[in-house]
Amino acid sequence: MPRKPARHHRLLPVRPLTFSPFARSVARVATAYLVKHYMHNAVQQSAGDEFKEKLKIIGRHSESSEDEEFDGVVQADFAFFDPKPDDFHGVKTLLQSYLDNKQWDLSGFVDLILGQTTVGTVVKLEDDEDNGVFSIITALNLGRYKDHKCITELKEFLLNICHEKDKIGNLRSLLGDEAQKVGLLVSQCVVNLPPELLPPLYDALFDEISWATEDEPTEELRNSFRFKFYLVVSKFYKQKNANQKRSSSTDKDEAFVYIKPEDEILHKLSMWSFLFPLQTQQVATHELKNYQLTGIVMAVKAEDISSFRQQLHA
């Protein structure tokens, strides 16, 4: 079903969505660092000069928030669009560290995402000639694409990083026998994307999935979107020695600081999850001295997505 771009014209405050005061403070520091990291990666790609300047503006707002709350607003007209080939470099930049520092067929993965135009959304600035991509969201059927090199490598990566004996069997099942019922939920955005965009962005995704079960031209394609499970690969900040009893001086600290607010909801709703260490560069700041950037894999039942959407709007 063709869809029109969903446009959002508003003054969008740049601050986290669901964090506690402590987590919000830590997230601002992490955001300032990640903006610089993202800008460095973007320079390596073919992003235009105008898009790089927009990232610098976002970065300056983030840096100004390290020492004090940023109470201003950023004027931005964002629009939702179907993925298309021109988005290749922007999407690839966003997903550069999707599997940590693993060398894999990321280009092939991006091609799969862009080739699935009926389900998936990219977020850009409206009427932006530079065509910069600020967010990508989609769901890929692991069974439908099982023969693609990138999916084979992704499965190998997930199996290699899972060291929890009580989870490895569940993971093997979702990647193997149950793969045709599993949607790999891929969501990545440039840091500091206004959180007000999250509810309509996820609504668009899950509405499209529902429409695809009715509107795709063949029964095979329609069935490929009848997901029973979603698999999520993400990262967050985990307090070092979080499993040990905390002293009174650190009781106010959060065990986890979620980079993406929706991950907190998905984590709570997940039927199982496991953590894995990351090889990527760590953020070394005073606020984050007790935290370590950590990978997380979550499995969520499709029947719990309605609750996820409700909580995202709350």
Residue-level pLDDT at 19: 46
Radius of gyration of the chain from its Cα atoms, rounded to whole angstroms: 19
pLDDT-derived band at 33, boundaries 50, 70, 90: very low
- The per-residue pLDDT for range 151-169, each reduced to its tens digit, is 999 999 999 999 999 999 9
Architecture in CATH for domain 88-313:
3-Layer(aba) Sandwich (3.40)
Q: How confident is the model at residue 243 (pLDDT cuts 50, 70, 90)?
A: low
| pLDDT one-digit tens code per residue, 62-107 | 444 444 454 555 566 899 999 999 999 999 999 999 999 999 999 9
pLDDT of amino acid 76: 67
User: What Cα–Cα distance (Å) separates residue 243 from each residue in 4, 71, 81, 146, 313?
Assistant: 48, 35, 43, 37, 31
- Burial bucket for residue 197 (CB in 10 Å: 0-12, 13-18, 19+): buried
CA distance 159 to 140: 18
The rounded percent of the chain whose pLDDT value lies above 90 is 60
Confidence class for position 287, pLDDT limits 50, 70, 90: confident
Rounded to an integer, what distance in angstroms lies between the CA atom of residue 279 and that of residue 204?
Answer: 33
Place of tokens 């950037």: 293
Distance CA 148, CA 99 (A): 16
301: three-class secondary structure by DSSP: strand
DSSP secondary structure of 244-274 = SPPPGGGTTS-SEEESSHHHHHHHHH-SEEE
What is d(CA 170, CA 154) in angstroms, rounded to the nearest whole number? 16
Q: Give the residue with greater pLDDT, 249 vs 11.
A: 249
Q: Find the helix or strand (DSSP H, E) in which 35 lies.
A: helix 21-44
DSSP state of 22: H
State the pTM of this model. 0.79
Residue 60 pairs with which residues in a beta bridge? none
Q: Which pLDDT score is estimated for 4?
A: 42
**Cβ count near 273 (within 10 Å):** 17
| Choice between 260 and 31, residue whose per-residue pLDDT is larger | 260
